Every structure is written in structure tokens, then in C-alpha cells.
Amino acid sequence: MKKLIALLLALSMVFALAACGGGSTPAPAADQPAADAPAVEEAPAAEEAPAVPETVVHETTGTEPQYGGEATVYYPKFYNYFDPSMMDEYQFAFWYETLWVMDWGLNDAETFAFDAGSIPVEYLAGQLAVDRGEFDEEAHTLTVKLRDDVFFQEGEPYNGRAFTADDVVWSYSRLLGLGDYAKVDTEYDWGRALDMLESVEAVDDHTVVFTFKPDMSTTVQLTNFMNAKVNIAGPEWDDCDQSDWHNAKGTGPYVLTDYVVDNSMTFTRNDNYYGYDERYPENKLPYIDTIKLVYIADSANILAQSMSGALDWFGENGKAVLSGDQLAQLSAADAGQLYAYNTSSPPAIALKIPQEPFSDIRVRQAMQLAIDLEAANIYLGNDGPVVVPGLWGPGLSWSTYGEWPAELEEEFEYNPERARELMEEAGYPDGFEFEVELDPTSNLDLYMLAASELKQNINVTMNVTVAAEMMEAVQHSQDMDDPRQSAGFAGGFPEYMLALMMTGSGEMPNSYGHDDQEYMDELASIGQASSADEQTAIAQDMDQQFPARHWAILVAGMQPNYDFMSNRIGGYTGEKVYYKDNMRTIWSRLWIEE
């Protein structure tokens, strides 16, 4: 095993990988500059844009923010789709905004770490909304006051007009087909996320009333509603070319000014943005003039660019981009800082349960017992114990990790002998062969390590290929008739909606395609609970059901994730930068120190 690990560590990594960690930063010059992109178009000038105010120095830190400069940020994937109906924020967050966001002022390790998908209402703040609004359980209404100083970005289709309540009505109603609005065609199940919503009405230009269904007018449903990331745009979108990125406009801090498909996106400062920095209240946001998101295909290039100062940020965030060895190289240099965080979604093989032989739970149990998670831990450069998640991340109150029965814990221990017994019981004493297709950000070496153990211990041949691009892998993973299994996540979900989608019937990437309505109904009932205590009781029961079913086969336990921030970046105090949730919030508040 040690020889195998040494061999795998020696492999050159051709693809951007998928799940690991390290320490603090490097210095050799890179042979390659950051990914090239065509010249950036000039951002349309905002009419009567307010002048950038003088910098204010924060009294407690003494740090002096600066305006201007360009930041280059690694980005693992792009969506060639610009409609605001996208459920997760991804790169859309730079130009679209939501009614509520995580409260930046509460972001510290003792209070709230900004890394969960389902955020308690008390940790939310208004973004386009003035505040969290007034919720009346008896009247079943949430009355929301909107900011009156917000304007859409210049250029088609909105041409810098004022944001109003009608835009909120349009943004929500089209997702569900409410009132006179036709339901927009989207791959995301907004009906599930917003099933508590009965209607939305504009009372005046800056007041919206959301009416909940009478049997769903609870504080639990309020939390679910406010956590649904609905991007706010306006009805002009219906009449423009929605495939043209030039029309991707919103109210956000950055304007999309260049896009090279699947390669890079360039964002330019929105001079007409309404936001101010909470830490430096006289400072208009954003600070950085240009932010360039780039996809870099191989980890060696990411490492080199980080060490040379050409790349200002990359984040692991469940999709590790550097191996443990490469992280050690980066930690030994002096180009910036590595910040470690716990991940809640360890890498796994997502099995399509309707297919044989995976429909037999004994086969799935055997596959898990045949993989040495401790060896994977060593390969990833982690010295601590192997942490195996249930359905929820161990940091959540719903988790029962550490309270599992001995029999369940034993199913995740390395036991080749028991694995062979189960294979024989299931009728596969000679093993079998199957295909796994990884997405381009997956850790190829890690999956090859698991493949070697499956072959050695239970004679199961796992043929591994890597898809040419992300959406190709997503499409194959959703097709339950496709014989290719996929890279997936083994539980550790931060909220029930994500767990519902990811363990569903093929609607989402890495879905397991099982037909277990009782499980699905119980999971869905978490969102229908009338109190937090009821939610917790159901969720803790579900927490052990998911790992006991072995729908996903862990190839490693939960590992640290890392954010690398270069020495050029100021204003960063260790917040977890998550590429699909809070990129806009954090990057609009950082600056270039040069």
C-alpha cells in the first residue's frame, strides 16, 4: 500500500482535482502567465455615477483600503446560461443579487462561519431588501421593504433604470407560474424550494408582500423561503437575447464585460453600485476595478501561477485543485496564505442504484469495506482521524456523528475479508467490471487509488475516465440508463433541500436514482415541520439512514478545504470564499495592495 501511495503521489496531475488541504505559501516564478483572454471591453459608463469617496482607515485594524487594480481568480466551471432562474449563485452572483444575504457583520468563527447552505434567519441581512421584513404567521404574510437607491447596470436590457417591487414580483412569480406569469422552463425544482409561497404582490414601488400557504406559515418555512437564492432581475429579460452574455445585467457590484466560453469571465466595477463597506462605512463598494475569473485545466499550472503571484485566489471548496504534495510546496513559499476549513462533502463514487449489481446493498457494502479510507487520508496529507459523515455535516445540530451504533461504524472500516464474504453472498465471488466518469475537477489520483483497492480486494474492476468538460459529466450522471457511474458527494449536506435534490431520482448531478418513496417523503417532511425541534428529530433519524444505504461509496473521509489568497489582496480576514455562494459578498469588499 505504501508503494502504491508513493507511486500515485509521483504522478503528474493533468486535471483540476477534487478534495484536500495545506498551510501557508510559495515563491518560484511560473513559466506561464495567467490564462489568456481577449481584451476587456470598456464597461458602459454609468450616467452621473457617484465619485469614488476618499479611503477611510478602519480604526481597529489600521488597514488602508485601496481602489483600483485587477484580481485574477481561479474558477472551476462556467455556465453558458444567463437566466436569473439559476438556483445556486455561481458566477451569476457578480451581477445578480438576492433580497437577503449572509450578514457580513456577524462573520467570525465564534458566531457564524458563512459556510452553511441553510442559514438561520437571525444570521441573514437585507441586500435588496432593507432588512429581514415583518412576518405575520396569522395573516400568513411576509412584508418586505426594498431599498430605494438601487439601479440596474447600464446597457441593455435595463439601461440603468431604477429597481422596483415589480422586479421582485416578476423574479419570483415566473419561477412558480404565479398570477399571470407563465412558469419559466428551468432544470431546477423551484416548486420544491418555494412550495410555501402562494402569491407575491407589489404594494408600492418599494414594498412587496409574500403570502404563504396557510398550512406552511411557520418560522421554519420562513427560514426555507429566505434561504432560497432567487436572483432578482426584471421583465425586460423576457424580450432580449438570453443566450447573449452582453445582456447579463443586474444590480450587482460588477458588470460582465468579457466572456471566453468555458475559459474566463471578466468583470468590471459597477460605478453606480449602491453598497458601502460595513467595516469602513464611508467607503463605496466595490474596491477592485477588474476581477477576472479563469479556468486553469491542470494543477501544476495553478500551483505555478499561485507561486508567481499571477493567480490571486483559488479555493478547494469540496473540489480540491492541488494535491497534498502541491499544497505543501505552496505552503513553503511566500506568495500568500492558505486558510484551512472543514469540508462537509467528502468525495465518493455515486452509484446509480437501479442498475445491477448496485441494486444489491451487499455489493455496495462490500465496495465500501474494500476501500482503505485511512490510506486515502495519508495520501491527502492529513494526519487526523478519518471522519465519515451522515446525511448532514458533522458541525450541524442535525448530525448524529459520534452517536452511531457500532454496526454502522463498522461498515465504513477497512475490512477486505468481510467484503469478500458479502460479494460471495450477493453472487459476485469473481467480482465485476464497471465504468466511472469523473468531472474535470475531480481528484483522478484519489479515484485511481480506490480503483486499485477494489481490484485487489474484491476483484472489482473500476475503469476511470475523465469527461472533457463539466456539463458533459453532469449530463451523464443524470442519465440513469447510462452505464457510467460518477464522482459524487457522500452526505455531509448543509441543508435538507440540497439533500433532497442530491439523493433524488436523477434531477441533479450525482443523483443516485433510487426508488425509495418512504425515504424521500421523510426527508421532504423536514421542510414541512412546524418547529425547529420537530425538524431536528426527523433530521437526526435521516442522518443515519443515508450512510446505512451506501448509495455513495466514500473514497476518502471528510477533509480540510483550503482558500489561497495572494499577498496582493487586502481586506481578507479568513472568511471562507465559496465559489457558488458568497463570491460577490467577499470580493466586493477586498482590495489590491500594490
Q: What is the pLDDT of residues 367-379, one digit of tens each?
A: 999 999 999 988 8
Superfamily name and number for 347-554: Dipeptide-binding Protein; Domain 3 (3.10.105.10)
Nearest CA to 295 out of 443, 578, 79, 474 is that of 79
What is the average per-residue pLDDT within 386-397?
Answer: 81
Contact 510, 350 (CB under 8 A): yes
pLDDT at res. 318: 52
Of the listed ranges 109-113, 250-254, 413-417, 515-519, the least confidently predicted one is 109-113
Give the Å distances, CA to CA, from 410 to 43, 370, 405, 407, 418. 58, 12, 9, 5, 11
> What are the φ and ψ backbone dihedral angles of 266, each rounded to 5 degrees?
-115, 130
Q: Give just the sign of the alpha carbon dihedral 377, 379, 380, 383.
A: positive
Strand partners, 569: 592
CB-facing half-sphere around the CA of 274: CA atoms within 13 A: 19
pLDDT recorded at residue 237: 96
Closest-CA residue to 105 (of 80, 131, 134, 83): 131
Residue 47 dihedral angles phi and psi, to the nearest 5°: -65, 130
CB 269 within 8 A of CB 253: yes
**What would the pLDDT profile of 298-328 be if each residue is shown by its tens digit?**
899 999 999 999 999 998 765 568 877 888 8
C-alpha to C-alpha distance for 478 and 61, rounded to whole angstroms: 49
Q: What's the pLDDT tens digit per position in 320-357?
A: 688 778 888 998 998 999 988 766 678 899 999 889 99
Res 134 pLDDT > 50: yes
Burial class (CB in 10 A: 0-12, 13-18, 19+), 49: middle
Residues 394, 492 contacting (CB under 8 angstroms): yes
Residue 187 near residue 159, CB atoms below 8 Å: no
Dig out the grid coordinates for 255 from the structure: 458588470
Q: Can you tell me the distance from the alpha carbon of 168 to that of 314, in angstroms, rounded to the nearest whole number?
A: 33
Taking all residues of the chain, what is their mean pLDDT, rounded to a whole number?
A: 82
- Distance between CA atoms of residues 156 and 145, nearest Å: 27
The set of residues, in sequence order, having a beta carbon less than 8 Å from that of 260 and lying 6+ positions away, is: 37, 38
- C-alpha distances (whole Å) from 271 to each of 56, 236, 448, 583 are 18, 22, 49, 19
| Number of helical (H) and strand (E) elements in the chain, helices listed first | 16, 20
- pTM score of the predicted model: 0.70
pLDDT bucket at 140, cuts 50 / 70 / 90: very high
Report the C-alpha gap between 329 and 381 in whole angstroms. Answer: 12
User: Does the structure show a pLDDT above 80 at 174?
Assistant: yes
CB 237 within 8 A of CB 84: yes
- Say if residue 113's pLDDT is above 70: no
Mean predicted confidence (pLDDT) in 478-498: 83
Q: Which residues of 8-45 are buried (b: 16+ CB within 10 A; e: fewer)?
A: beeeebebbbbbbbbebbbeeebeeebbebeeeeebbe
Q: Which 3 state secondary structure label does DSSP give 540? A: helix
Which of the residue ranges 201-205, 373-377, 498-502 would you say has the lowest mean pLDDT?
Answer: 498-502
Q: Distance of CA 259 to CAs 70, 81, 254, 289, Å?
A: 16, 12, 14, 17
Q: Which residue has the cell 407589489?
A: 202
Query: CATH for 252-341+562-592?
Result: 3.40.190.10
78 or 149, greater pLDDT: 149
Which residues in 515-526 are b (16+ Cβ under 10 Å) and which e?
Answer: ebeebeeebbeb
How distant, in Å, are the alpha carbons of 15, 82, 264 from that of 79? 19, 8, 11
What is the mean predicted confidence (pLDDT) over 31-42? 31
Q: What percent of the chain has pLDDT over 90?
A: 51
- pLDDT given for residue 84 in this prediction: 93
Half-sphere exposure of 507 (CA within 13 A, CB side): 15
- Positive or negative, the CA dihedral 410, 412, 417, 420 is positive
Contact 132, 110 (CB under 8 A): no
- Residue 342: its pLDDT value, please? 66
Tell me the average pLDDT across 89-115.
73
How is the chain split into domains, by residue range? 100-105+118-235, 252-341+562-592, 347-554
Least confident of 34-43, 47-56, 288-297: 34-43
User: Among the listed ranges 11-15, 217-221, 260-264, 514-518, which one has the minimum average pLDDT value?
Assistant: 11-15
pLDDT at 481 over 60: yes
- Give yes or no for residue 46 having a pLDDT over 80: no
Class of domain 100-105+118-235: alpha beta
| pLDDT confidence of residue 60 | 36
Residue whose C-alpha cell is 425538524: 535
Q: Position of cell 470564499?
A: 577
Q: What is the mean pLDDT of residues 16-36?
A: 27
Q: How far is CA 559 from CA 320, 346, 385, 505, 578, in A?
A: 10, 7, 10, 28, 16
C-alpha span between 426 and 366 (Å, rounded): 10
Return the top range by mean pLDDT from 137-146, 472-481, 517-526, 552-561.
137-146
- Evaluate whether 553 touches 351 at the Cβ level (below 8 Å): yes
d(CA 553, CA 414): 13
The cell for 522 is 421523510
Rounded Cα distance between 204 and 200, Å, is: 12
pLDDT band, residue 87 (cuts 50/70/90): confident
Mode of pairing for the β-strands spanning 433-438 and 484-489? parallel
Cell of 57: 482607515
